[in-house]
Amino acid sequence: MHYPLHLDIIQGLARHPASISPKYFYDQRGSRLFEEITRLPEYYPTRTESALMQTHGEEIARAIATCSTVIEPGAGNCEKARRLCELLRPERFVGLDISADFLREGVARLGAAMPGLQAQAVAGDITRPIVLPLDIPRAKRLVFYPGSSIGNFDPLQARQLLANLRSLVDADGGLLVGVDLRKDVEVLEAAYDDAAGVTAAFNLNVLAHVNRLIGSDFTPEGWLHRAFFNDGASRIEMHLEARAPIRVNWPGGERDFAPGERIHTENSYKYTLPSFSALLASAGFSRMQAWTDAQGWYAMVHARP
Ligand code: AVI
């Protein structure tokens, strides 16, 4: 069997402590498990964000009313875009995603549901400088980045990503971004270690995906799901912890893990409104307005250059 080189995975496994990028969570099963996570009672971000968009929808729509083109990085199935487009009624929607096939289906569904909306799919990696097709007007753009995905980037990467998004808009445009906020540790940790074990299955599934990608022989049963809040770094960390001594082999390499040794699989940063505003400012945004839920758990932030 020939495996394409996934050097980043092999380098991550060789590191001390070992790590696997969270982008490898999302094979077919992982994407399904993530959808299940978003419906869990403990996982508050998705439902809190949609409730916020429901409660403050009209005010948010007024704040972004001048925008006529909505650009959504990581648009996926375009469900959140649909709700926003119903509020804003823009002329144009541009979905941007690495997985262009999946995105095209979502964009086509959105276009069919909203006659008059020009809906377009663009394949692209938002962590690199973004170049959009020339026929997309530069004026009055709104970049929509919901779901608190910004939290999965470390602060330096997050600043770079926000600067990339900033480069897409002129002074007449803006960014509407979903941000998960700091809160009680018990609430945070339960959201990433639910009673039904869905997040554990999601975390462990990365090993099966890595096996397929690099030909390794990880046995998911040999690993435990760990999720905890790192207060100093203000982030939830997810790890996989070896239950016993384990040797993992792959073509051209191997790694021994001692009992209790971990593989770091994800960070999910939790901001305060001031810390997120400072991050936005460092990426070139200056005027900000935020809407939060009554508990102050989550924010939709509108930022303009
Ligand atoms: C996609 N992202 C915003 C999720 C989060 O909350 O950081 C990923 C996730 N990991 C475990 N549960 C959800």
What residues make up the domain containing 212?
7-41+186-269
The rounded distance, in Å, linking the Cα atoms of 215 and 3 is 7
Compute, in angstroms, the gap from residue 293 CA to the centroid of ligand 1.
Answer: 19
Q: What is the CATH number of the domain that holds 146?
A: 3.40.50.150
Residue 203, domain member (yes or no): yes
Question: Do 167 and 218 have their domain in common?
Answer: no
Instruction: Quickly count: other Cβ atoms within 10 Å of residue 247's Cβ.
Output: 9
266 within ligand 1 shell (Cβ under 6 A): yes
Whether residue 86 is found in the same domain as residue 113: yes
Q: Is 37 in the pocket of ligand 1 (CB under 6 A)?
A: yes
Distance 151 CA to ligand 1 centre (A): 8
Q: In this predicted structure, what is the pLDDT of residue 1? A: 66
Same domain, 121 and 229: no
282, 139: one domain: yes
CA dist., res. 254 & res. 99, Å (int): 31
Q: Which residues, 6+ apart, have CB-to-CB distance to 32 below 8 Å?
A: none
Q: Is 164 in the pocket of ligand 1 (CB under 6 A)?
A: no
Distance 268 CA to ligand 1 centre (A): 7
Residue 62 has pLDDT above 70, yes or no: yes
Give distance in angstroms: CA of 138 to centre of ligand 1: 31
Residue whose CA is closest, atom 3 of ligand 1? 149
Cα→Cα distances 251→5, 64, 88, 212, 240, Å? 10, 52, 52, 12, 22
Q: How far is the CA of 44 from the centre of ligand 1 (A)?
A: 11
Q: What is the tally of structural domains in the chain?
A: 2
Which residue has the CA at smallest separation from atom 1 of ligand 1? 149
Q: What percent of the chain has pLDDT over 90?
A: 88
- Residue 268, ligand 1, Cβ within 6 A: yes
- State whether 165 and 65 are in the same domain: yes
pLDDT digits (tens, 9 = 90+) for 140-174: 999 999 999 999 999 999 999 999 999 999 999 99
Q: Are residues 174 and 278 in the same domain?
A: yes
Establish how many alpha carbons lie within 13 A of residue 51's alpha carbon, considering only the half-sphere containing its beta carbon: 12
CB 300 within 8 A of CB 271: no
Please tell me the pTM assigned to this model: 0.95
Which residues does residue 256 pair with via DSSP β-bridges, in sequence order?
247
Domain-embedded: residue 161:
yes
81 plus 198 within the same structural domain:
no
CA angle 298, 193, 247 (to 5 degrees): 130
Cα–Cα nearest to 181, from 77, 88, 44:
44
Rounded average pLDDT over 29-38: 94
Q: Of all atoms in ligand 1, which is nearest to the CA of residue 38?
A: 13
Average pLDDT over residues 257-282: 98
Statement to judge: residues 52 and 138 lie in one domain = yes
Looking at the predicted complex, does its ipTM rise above 0.90?
yes
**Residue 1 is assigned to a structural domain of this protein:** no
Ligand 1 centre distance from Cα of residue 179 (Å)? 12
Q: Give the pLDDT score at 99.
A: 73
Q: Are residues 61 and 154 in the same domain?
A: yes
| Residues 14 and 106 placed together within one structural domain of the fold | no
